[in-house]
Structure 1
Amino acid sequence: MALIYPVRLDTPEPDEDTPADFSELAADLSDQWLVEVDLGEDGEDACFGPLTPRAAWDLALGVDERRPEWTVSVLPLHLPGTADEVVELFDEE
């Protein structure tokens, strides 16, 4: 699977064979997300959004299931706060 999405550090590591789950997405990072699809051929890629976290997740999973050789990324479109606040979200205690 070439599905890339943000998770918090305190999220338990899933088993390798476990399918991706929406609950792992750090959905509280943003209300709007985008899905980036990289075909891996001659730099061909596309972005789709803004989408709700759930819609972005569903789109990314759907594309990944149909074309597992493509790289699909789910990215927050808007992240409120300062750089220090962002880093703090992912730093270990």
Structure 2
Amino acid sequence: MALIYPIRSDAPEPDEDSEPVFEELAADLSDTWLVQIEADDDDDGVSFGPMAAPAAFELALELDDRRPDWTISVLPLHVPGTADELIALFDDEDELD
């Protein structure tokens, strides 16, 4: 599967067949998201958005089902906060030093 999306470092490991859970990410990272598509290795990619987290993940999952050979990334468009605050969302506290 070539679907790429952010996850928190403290999130439990998802089952292989589970779909992404976007509700927590939408609240933590951004209200608006982009879906980026790269059809092949030579493709620079194209982005679609901004859109709400549910719409972005729904589009990405549908695209991934239909074109599993594409690389599809779901990205937050706006992330409020400092670099340290953002790092803390994804890294263990031990890694901040």
Q: Which runs of 4+ in 1 moved over 6 A?
A: none
Q: What does residue 66 of structure 1 align with? A: 66
SS at match of 1:51: strand
SS at match of 2:18: coil
* Letter matched to residue 2 of structure 1: A
Identity of aligned residues (%): 57
Distance 1:14 1:31 in 2: 23
Q: What does residue 19 of structure 2 align with? A: 20
Question: Structure 1 unaligned runs (5+)?
Answer: none
Task: Give the C-alpha shift of residue 24 in structure 1.
Answer: 7.4
Task: Give the C-alpha shift of residue 41 in structure 1.
Answer: 4.6
Measured against aligned partners, the alpha-carbon deviations of 1:10-43 in whole angstroms (never above 9, x if no partner) come to: 1110122x23233476222000000000011522
- 8 Å CA contact retained: 1:6, 1:25: no
* Letter matched to residue 31 of structure 2: D
- 8 Å CA contact retained: 1:33, 1:75: yes
RMSD across aligned positions (CA): 1.6
Q: Which range moved further: 6-15 or 62-71? A: 6-15
Q: CA distance change for structure 1 residues 35 and 53 in 2, over 3 Å: closer, same or farther?
A: same
- 8 Å CA contact retained: 1:5, 1:25: no
What is the count of residue pairs matched by the alignment? 92
Q: CA distance change for structure 1 residues 48 and 25 in 2, over 3 Å: closer, same or farther?
A: farther
Question: Structure 2 unaligned runs (5+)?
Answer: none
So what's the TM-score if we normalise by structure 2?
0.85
Distance 2:83 2:26 in 1: 18
So what's the TM-score if we normalise by structure 1?
0.88
